[in-house]
Amino acid sequence: MSIIFSFLFELLYPIYLLKFRKERDYILGRLKKANLQIKPKEVYKNLFLNGLDSLRFLQNKKVPVKFENFDLVPELPVVFVSIHLGAFEMLHRGLGNLVESGELRVESFVNLVVSEFRNKRLDRFLVNLRRTRNVRIVRDFEVSMVLKKVIRNKEILAVMADQSKRGGEYFDILGQRVPLFLKLPITANKLGASIVLFRTFRENREHIIRIERIYEPYSKINPAEIAKIFENWILEYPEQWAWNYFYSKR
C-alpha cells in the first residue's frame, strides 16, 4: 500500500507546486535556517503519507500502531501535550481507543482542543471525523470553561502545543522563533492535573505513539525545558514535522 501511496505522491507533487510554490520556498528557507540537509519535497511526502495513514486510522481501518510507555500514565486528570509531528491525527483517536479498551483508567471523555478552519466544509468534515464516543471536540475559545470540568471530573485534555492562534509564548527552536501554547497545560498542572508529553512518528512502516515525559501535579515547570524536548523530537524526525504549519501566520 505504501508503494502505491508513494507513487501517487510523485504524480501529485508537481501539480501541488503549481499553486503552492511560495509555500515550498518558505519551508526551504526554514530548513536552511535550521541547518537541516533535507528538502521540502521530503517534508511534503511525509505529510502526505502520514496524512493518508491518519485518515485510514480515523476511519477505523487497519494501520500498524504501537503504544509505548502507556503503563506510566498517572492518575487523572491528565493533560496530554504533543506537536504536529508524524501522523499526529492518530494521537487523540489512539487515546480514545485506549479509553474504550479500558487501558486508560477513565470512564469519561478525551477532550480534544482544536482550532476552527476558515473553510467551513473542511471544518465540519474534520470535526465529524475526529469525534467518537470517547472523544469530545473542544474549540480553543472554550478551553477556560472546559478546563475546570476536566479537573473536577478527572478527565483527559489533549492539546497540540504548536497550535497557538490565540496567543502563545515564543521559543527558539532550530534557529527560529516558534509560538508554543503552554499556558493551558501549565495552568492545569497548577490546578492539580498531571502533564504527559507524548508524540507519534513513523518508523519502518509502523507508527509509534510514545509517552516521553510526565510532570506530576503542582510541578515547577520551566516552559523552555518543554520547548527543548520538542526541538529534540523534531531533530530526530525533521522530515515528519509540519514545517508549513505557520506559513499563513507570518
Residue pair 66/199 in contact (Cβ under 8 Å)? The answer is no
Please report whether residue 234 resides in a domain: yes
> Which residue stretches of 102-171 are H helix?
120-130, 143-153
Nearest in space to 231 (alpha carbons), one of 188, 204, 183, 197: 197
Please report whether residue 232 resides in a domain: yes
Q: pLDDT tens, position by position, for the chain (250 residues)?
A: 578 888 899 999 999 999 999 999 999 999 999 999 999 999 999 999 999 999 999 888 889 999 999 999 988 899 999 999 999 999 998 888 887 777 776 566 788 887 776 777 766 877 777 777 788 888 877 787 888 888 988 999 999 998 765 567 899 999 888 889 999 999 999 999 999 999 999 998 899 999 999 999 999 999 999 999 999 999 999 999 998 776 544 4
At 166-203, the pLDDT tens digits run: 567 899 999 888 889 999 999 999 999 999 999 999 99
Please report whether residue 204 resides in a domain: yes
Task: Give me the domain span that covers residue 202.
Answer: 65-238
Please report whether residue 58 resides in a domain: no
Residue pair 110/136 in contact (Cβ under 8 Å)? The answer is yes
Please report whether residue 168 resides in a domain: yes
Cβ neighbours around 74 below 10 Å, total: 15
Pair type for strands 206-215 and 194-203: antiparallel
Please report whether residue 42 resides in a domain: no
pTM of the full structure: 0.90
17 vs 231: CA distance, rounded Å: 28
Please report whether residue 177 resides in a domain: yes
Distances (CA, A) of 238 to 42, 159, 241: 9, 21, 6
Structural domains counted in the chain:
1
131 vs 140: CA distance, rounded Å: 16
Please report whether residue 165 resides in a domain: yes
